[in-house]
Amino acid sequence: MCDAAVTVKVKYSVSSLPIATAKEVFDLVRDDLSAVEREFGRQSKSEVVVIQDIARYLLSGGGKRIRPLLLLLSAKALGFTGESRIRLGAVVEMLHTATLVHDDIIDEAQTRRGKPSANTAWGASKCVLAGDWLYMQSFQTALDERNFKILDLLIGLTQQMVEGELLQMQKLGHLINEEEYFDLIFRKTAMLFKVSMQLGAALAGVDETVEQQLGEYGRNLGLAFQIVDDVLDLVGEEATLGKPAASDLREGKATLAVIHALERGTGAEREAIRTVLADRDFTRVKHATILEILRGHGSLEYAMDAARAYAEAARQSIADLPQANAEAGRALRALLWVPGYVTDRDR
Amino acid sequence: MCDAAVTVKVKYSVSSLPIATAKEVFDLVRDDLSAVEREFGRQSKSEVVVIQDIARYLLSGGGKRIRPLLLLLSAKALGFTGESRIRLGAVVEMLHTATLVHDDIIDEAQTRRGKPSANTAWGASKCVLAGDWLYMQSFQTALDERNFKILDLLIGLTQQMVEGELLQMQKLGHLINEEEYFDLIFRKTAMLFKVSMQLGAALAGVDETVEQQLGEYGRNLGLAFQIVDDVLDLVGEEATLGKPAASDLREGKATLAVIHALERGTGAEREAIRTVLADRDFTRVKHATILEILRGHGSLEYAMDAARAYAEAARQSIADLPQANAEAGRALRALLWVPGYVTDRDR
C-alpha cells in the first residue's frame, strides 16, 4: 500500500532548490485563498438551517487550509488558472472537514482547534448527518466539473480515508509497528495531500508522469505533516494545540516516536508505554514519564528526522518539473517552501 | 419541493389496468434478484475485515429489496437488459442500507428487522464509518458506469435524504402538519423509489417524458410505501415488525394518522398525543389510548386511503407507457402489481 517505511531511511540533506519566502507564497495565493473562503460560504448554503450552521461553524474553524493551498499551487505550477481550482480547493477542505466531524464523534473529542468540537456543540446525531452532508456537497461540486478523472480521485480517496479510520479503531490500545503506522497515516492524511496535488494536475490535463510527480510530492508532504502533528501532540501544550496534550496516547494511539521507543526501551519502559495505551489516561503512568522515555531513546528526534526526510523527498519529487511560465515558476518555488513550513511549525 | 399533500385528495378507484400476479412477478425477477444478492457479496469485499463483517450483516438483514426490484423492472420495461442493471440494483440497496445505519445511530435503535441493529452489535463509532464506507462503495460502483446522469441522480438523492433526516430531527417531539409530513417522507423514502425508477430509464437512455413518468410512479409508490409503514408502526405487533411497536411515537415522530387525529381531536385528545410525543414513551399516556383516539376519528383508515390513492396514482403514472417487446410488457404489468403489494402487506 505504502512503501513509506523504506523511504524513511534515505538521509535528507538541506535542499539546494530555489525556495520561495513566506511572503512570496502569501502574495502569490492570497486572492485565491480568499476566493476559496467565499466558495465555502456558497457551498454551505442549505435550506436546512442546522446544516448551514454546522457547516459554517466547521469551515470557519481556523484550519490551516493547507489542502486547498496545495491544489491551488499544483494547478498554478502547471499553468492552469480556471475557476475550477477555487471550487475544487473548497471541495478538498470540505472533504477534510467531513472526515474531522465523523472522527470527532468516534474519538468523542471535546475540543478541536481550541473551540468546542462540533459534536460537543450540536450532539453526535446531528454531526453524523452534517458529515454526510459535507461529503455529498463535496461530491456534488466535483460532479459539476463533468470530469471523471476528478471523481475517480475523490471517491477513491474517501474510501481509503474511511478504511484508514476503521483500521485505526481496530488498533487502538494495541502496539503497532512502523509499517502499520505508515499505512495508517498514508490513508488518514497523506492520501488527501496526494489527491489535492493530483487534482491540480487533472485540471491542467497534464500527462501521467507529471501527475505522478505531483502526487508523490503530496504523499511525501502528507507523511511529513502527520509525523510532525503526532510529535506536536506528544510534546505540545494544550493552549497551543487547541486540544488536550498527548491526546493520541489518551485515545490509545501509538505514533512514530512511541513505536521507536517501544522497540528500544527496557522491559519497564515498554510496560509503562503499554500501560498508558491500555489505560488511555495518565493515572498510573504520568505524561512526563513517557516524555522522559522518548527523550532517553532520542525517539522524538527520530520522528522529526523522518519528517524532515519526507519533507526533502517532497521537494525532490518536483525538482525537475517543467515550468510553463513565470507564474508557474513562482508556484513551483512556493511548493518548495511548503515542506519547511510543515516541519518547522509549532501547531 | 413536493406537491404530495394536494394529490392525496384525488379519489382512488380500483385499477382496470392489466396487473401481473405475484407468481408472474416472482418468475420474472427471481434470477435478477439473485444476481443482485451476489453483487452485494462482491461489493462488500474489503481488506478491512470489520467493514466486510458489518456490510454483510447489514446486507443480509432480510430487507424487502423493493428498491432493486423497481430498478430492475424499470430497466426491463424499457427493454434494457445489460449487466449495469444488476450493479445499480445493488447500489440503490447499499445506499438505502447506508442511510439505515446512520439513522439507527441517531435513533439509538436497538433492533432492526428482528435482529440487533448494527450499532447495538458493533457500537456507534464503527457504524458511522461503516455507513460512510457503504456510501463511498455505492458511488464507486456508480462511477464505474461512466454516466454523469446516473451520478447526478444518486448524489442529488443522497443529499435530499440526509437533509430529510436532519429536518426530521429538528421536528422530533413537535406537532407537524400534513405538508411537513409529506415533505419528510418524500425526502426520506419516496425520492429513493423515484431515483430507482429513473436509473432504469437512464440505463435505457429513453427520452425525458418516459423518465418523468417512471419517476412519478416511483414517487407515488414511495409515498404510499412510507404511509403504510407508518400505519403499521402504529398498529403492528413487535414480533411482526421486528422492532418495538409504535417506535415512531417513542421517537417523537408524528405520522399521517396522528396528524389527522390532532387536527380533529378534542382538547384532551390533542393533549394526550402531545404528551406522548414530548415524553417519547407510554408512561403517562398508554399506547392503547392513542390507538383509541386514532380509531375514533377514522385516522388510520384516512392514512390507508391516502396510501391507496398514491398506489393507484403510481399505476396511472405508467398506464400509457409504450412497450418495446413482450418481456417489457411483462415488466410493466409487474410494476402495476407492486403498488398493491405495498399497500396490502402487514410488515
**Nearest residue, CB atoms, B148 vs list A47, A133, A146:** A146
Which segments of chain A have a pLDDT < 70? 1-15
| DSSP SS3 for B116 | strand
**Nearest residue, CB atoms, A105 vs list B128, B136, B143:** B128
Confidence of residue B13 (pLDDT cuts 50, 70, 90): very low
Whole-number mean pLDDT of chain B? 91
Nearest residue on chain B to A158, alpha-carbon basis: B136
Domains and CATH numbers, chain B: 19-344 (1.10.600.10)
Torsion of CA A208, A212, A213, A216, to 10 degrees: 170
C-alpha cell at B90: 445493488
| Pair B62, B95: CB distance under 8 Å | no
Which residue's C-alpha cell is 459535507? A134
Contact flag B129-A165 (C-beta cutoff 8 Å): yes
pLDDT at position B2 is 42
Distance CA B36, CA B68 (A): 8
Cβ neighbours of A151 in B, within 8 Å: 143, 151
| Residues sharing a CB contact under 8 Å with residue A70, sequence separation 6 or more, in sequence order | A92, A193, A196, A197, A200, A218, A221, A335, A338
| Pair B166, A48: CB distance under 8 Å | yes
Distance CA B57, CA B63 (A): 11
C-alpha cell at B207: 427520452
pLDDT reading at B1 higher than 80:
no
**Nearest residue, CB atoms, A159 vs list B124, B140, B169:** B140
pLDDT at position A191 is 98
Contact flag A126-B169 (C-beta cutoff 8 Å): yes
Contact flag B128-A102 (C-beta cutoff 8 Å): yes
Size of interface A-B (CB pairs under 8 A): 108
Cβ neighbours of A46 in B, within 8 Å: 163
What is each CA distance from A27 to A21, A90, B121, in whole angstroms? 10, 20, 53
Distance CA B293, CA B270 (A): 9
A320-334, B39-53, B57-71, B136-150: which is most confident: B136-150
Cβ neighbours of A156 in B, within 8 Å: 140
What is each CA distance from A147 to A150, B140, B151, in whole angstroms? 6, 15, 12
pLDDT reading at B112 higher than 60:
yes
What is each CA distance from B248 to A100, A295, B109, in whole angstroms? 31, 57, 11
Distance CA B326, CA A339 (A): 66
C-alpha cell at A256: 512514530
Cβ neighbours of B252 in A, within 8 Å: none
Structure confidence by residue, pLDDT tens digits, A88-140: 999 999 999 999 999 888 888 777 777 787 777 788 888 999 999 999 999 99
Distance CA A60, CA A290 (A): 35
Name which of B324, B346, B188, B158 is nearest B255 in CA terms.
B188
Torsion of CA B211, B212, B216, B219, to 10 degrees: 70
pLDDT reading at B14 higher than 70:
no
Neighbours of A79 (CB within 10 A): 15
With a cut of 0.95, is the ipTM above it? no
pLDDT at position B4 is 43
Name which of A345, A146, A314 is nearest A217 in CA terms.
A314
Contact flag B166-A137 (C-beta cutoff 8 Å): no
**Nearest residue, CB atoms, B128 vs list A128, A133, A156:** A128
Contact flag A135-B133 (C-beta cutoff 8 Å): no
The residues with which B115 forms a beta bridge, in sequence order, are B112
SS3 labels along chain A:
CCCHHHHCCCCCCCCCCCCCCHHHHHHHHHHHHHHHHHHHHHHCCCCCHHHHHHHHHHHCCCCCCHHHHHHHHHHHHCCCCCCHHHHHHHHHHHHHHHHHHHHHHHHCCCEECCEECHHHHHCHHHHHHHHHHHHHHHHHHHHCCCCHHHHHHHHHHHHHHHHHHHHHHHHCCCCCCHHHHHHHHHHHHHHHHHHHHHHHHHHHCCCHHHHHHHHHHHHHHHHHHHHHHHHHHHHCCHHHHCCCCCHHHHCCCCCHHHHHHHHHCCHHHHHHHHHHHHHCCCCCCCHHHHHHHHHHCCHHHHHHHHHHHHHHHHHHHCCCCCCCCHHHHHHHHHHHHHHHHHHHCCC
Contact flag A133-B102 (C-beta cutoff 8 Å): no
pLDDT reading at B151 higher than 50:
yes
How many CA atoms are closer than 13 Å to the CA of A320, on its beta-carbon side? 2
CA distance A109 to chain B (A): 12
pLDDT at position A3 is 44
Structure confidence by residue, pLDDT tens digits, B250-297: 999 999 999 999 999 999 999 999 999 999 999 999 999 999 999 999
Distance CA A41, CA A123 (A): 23
Contact flag B158-A146 (C-beta cutoff 8 Å): no
Contact flag A129-B102 (C-beta cutoff 8 Å): yes
Distance CA A66, CA B272 (A): 55
pLDDT at position B7 is 44
Picking from B52, B132, B144, B165 by the largest number of A CB atoms within 10 A of its own CB, the best residue to mutate is B132
Contact flag A129-B169 (C-beta cutoff 8 Å): yes
pLDDT at position A15 is 60
C-alpha cell at A77: 505550477
Confidence of residue B311 (pLDDT cuts 50, 70, 90): very high
Neighbours of B66 (CB within 10 A): 21
Contact flag A163-B46 (C-beta cutoff 8 Å): yes
Distance CA A17, CA B56 (A): 52
Residue of B311 and B347 predicted with greater confidence: B311
pLDDT at position B243 is 81
| Pair B89, B106: CB distance under 8 Å | no
pLDDT at position B8 is 44
Distance CA A338, CA A19 (A): 9
Mean pLDDT of B41-60: 86
Complete DSSP assignment for B150-204: HHHHHHHHHHHHHHHHHHHHHHTTS---HHHHHHHHIIIIIHHHHHHHHHHHHHH
Nearest residue on chain B to A164, alpha-carbon basis: B48
Cβ neighbours of B131 in A, within 8 Å: 128, 132
Cβ neighbours of A53 in B, within 8 Å: none
Distance CA B238, CA B149 (A): 41
Structure confidence by residue, pLDDT tens digits, B165-211: 999 988 888 889 999 999 999 999 999 999 999 999 999 999 999 99
What is each CA distance from A123 to A55, B59, B170, in whole angstroms? 14, 28, 12
Structure confidence by residue, pLDDT tens digits, A285-302: 999 999 999 999 999 999
pLDDT at position B47 is 82
Q: Contacts for A84-89 with beta carbons within 8 Å, 24 or more apart?
A: A84/A145, A84/A203, A85/A32, A85/A200, A85/A203, A86/A32, A86/A35, A86/A36, A86/A39, A87/A39, A87/A141, A87/A144, A87/A145, A88/A141, A88/A142, A88/A145, A88/A150, A88/A199, A88/A203, A89/A32, A89/A33, A89/A35, A89/A36, A89/A39
pLDDT reading at B97 higher than 60:
yes
What is each CA distance from B116 to B101, B123, B252, in whole angstroms? 12, 11, 22
| Residues sharing a CB contact under 8 Å with residue A27, sequence separation 6 or more, in sequence order | none
Contact flag A50-B126 (C-beta cutoff 8 Å): no
DSSP symbol at B319: T
pLDDT at position B218 is 98
Contact flag B167-A139 (C-beta cutoff 8 Å): no
Structure confidence by residue, pLDDT tens digits, A303-321: 999 999 999 999 999 999 9
Cβ neighbours of B162 in A, within 8 Å: 129, 132-133, 136
Cβ neighbours of B148 in A, within 8 Å: 143, 146
Cβ neighbours of B126 in A, within 8 Å: 166, 169
